[in-house]
Amino acid sequence: MGDTVLITGGAGFVGRHVASALLAQGHRVRALDALIEQVHPTGVRPPDLDPEVELLVGDIRDETMVRRAVAGVDKVVHLAAEVGVGQSMYAVDRYTSVNDYGTAVLFQQLIDQPVQRVVVASSMSIYGEGLYRTVDGDLMQDVVRGRRNADGSWDPMDAQSRALIPVPTPETKTPTLKSVYAINKYVQELLTLTLTAQYGMEAVALRLWNIYGPGQALSNPYTGVLAIFASRIANGHPPMVFEDGRQRRDFVHVSDVARAFLLALDTPAANGEAFNIGSGEDRSVEQVARLQAASMGRADLEPLITQQARAGDIRHNIPDLTKARTVLGYAARQDFSEGLAELAEWVARQEAEDRVVEARQELEMRGLVL
């Protein structure tokens, strides 16, 4: 018999894929999810949540519901969170309440009903800017970017006003917390690793890069960038790209992320550790916007380059996956072009409300677009 695994936030994008992967391995799955309107507009069980999943509808901050959710569970995948750097900068109380207090409530119950292992979803956002090197080859750990450079460029500069060069960021890099969301995720990670060690449980933190794939909430303007682009393109609008579009990111398919969670649940040597999870390939955001428009048959929709930045955004951050590869045996499998084609095919069957302009206006009204 397999384990009984609780997935908090289990009706969400990543949670549904993790649930299906667990079921395929013979485990039993229980999901706790509040089905909030921003992610689940209908407020009902998602049709692509496997029918074998036991769904408890409730808030991660509700101690009675959480006590019920952890009863009889062997392991926990903790995904429940408010997600989005931009929105976190003005919905401070909601993000901190759900993400950090919610995690505290979960562990308050796990103290009395301990499990074997907890795997928590952390985020690449905790690093702030990734690791850089100078043109002379010196590594720069603690890069903090100011506003746009005097020459109009966006890249961080060295003391001689030369652009720094992004290099893969290892888990040893000191966190530089530039948004409320980043603070929240780091607190979630620390609570998980600290309390499990204290109370005889095991834990793993996965620092996730930009996730994409079928099933993402297309009408949520604070979700992953590829879902936001897809919503714009599906409605005949150009994808909106901040800064100059040359900022680089790693985009990882949700199926690869789900496999990483399964590895983290079962690999003995992973206990007490944090791991970067990405694809190992980085691209500029403008390039990705063009590729996605082409995959959806709208290559005519040129990206709208805003030449503006959002508070809390970072310039470059790409993952060093050496530790995940050597300890977890993790390697991404999904080809990016095939993943985009799969996403385009799925989006064509959905209704997506484009709320990106509304979200941008919300940020501008609060002085969070520079």
Q: Where is average pLDDT lowest: 184-193, 325-334, 358-367?
A: 358-367
**With 90 as the cut, is the pLDDT of residue 38 above it?**
no
**With 70 as the cut, is the pLDDT of residue 26 above it?**
yes
CB 155, CB 164: distance < 8 Å: yes
Residue-wise pLDDT for 149-172, tens only, equals 888 888 999 989 899 999 999 999
Dist CA 132 CA 162 (whole Å):
12
Dist CA 196 CA 206 (whole Å):
15
Which pLDDT score, from 0 to 100, does residue 147 have? Answer: 74
Residue-wise pLDDT for 297-326, tens only, equals 999 999 999 888 877 678 999 999 999 999
Residue-wise pLDDT for 115-134, tens only, equals 999 999 999 999 999 999 99
Which pLDDT score, from 0 to 100, does residue 221 have? Answer: 57
Which pLDDT score, from 0 to 100, does residue 363 have? Answer: 54
Which pLDDT score, from 0 to 100, does residue 144 have? Answer: 82
> Coil, helix or strand for 163?
strand
Residue among 234, 226, 322, 329 nearest 283 (CA): 226
Contacts of 222 (CB under 8 A, 6+ apart): 38, 83, 84, 86, 87, 359
Residue type, 227: A
Which pLDDT score, from 0 to 100, does residue 278 have? Answer: 98
Which pLDDT score, from 0 to 100, does residue 86 have? Answer: 81
Which pLDDT score, from 0 to 100, does residue 353 have? Answer: 63
Average pLDDT over residues 170-196: 96
**With 80 as the cut, is the pLDDT of residue 97 above it?**
yes
Residue with tokens 């905790």: 126
In this prediction the pTM is 0.92
Average pLDDT over residues 46-75: 97
Alpha helical stretches, state H, the chain: 13-24, 63-70, 85-88, 92-96, 102-112, 180-198, 225-234, 254-266, 285-295, 322-323, 336-347, 356-365
**With 90 as the cut, is the pLDDT of residue 217 above it?**
no
CB 343, CB 214: distance < 8 Å: yes
Which pLDDT score, from 0 to 100, does residue 215 have? Answer: 84
Residue with tokens 């040359």: 246
Residue type, 51: P
Residue with tokens 């428009």: 293
Which pLDDT score, from 0 to 100, does residue 223 have? Answer: 61
Which pLDDT score, from 0 to 100, does residue 85 have? Answer: 83
Which pLDDT score, from 0 to 100, does residue 216 have? Answer: 81
Count of CB atoms situated within 10 Å of the CB of 40: 18
Which pLDDT score, from 0 to 100, does residue 365 have? Answer: 63
Average pLDDT over residues 228-251: 88
What's the whole-number average pLDDT of the chain? Answer: 90
Domains of the chain: 4-365 (3.40.50.720)
Count of CB atoms situated within 10 Å of the CB of 151: 8
Which pLDDT score, from 0 to 100, does residue 145 have? Answer: 78
Average pLDDT over residues 281-297: 92
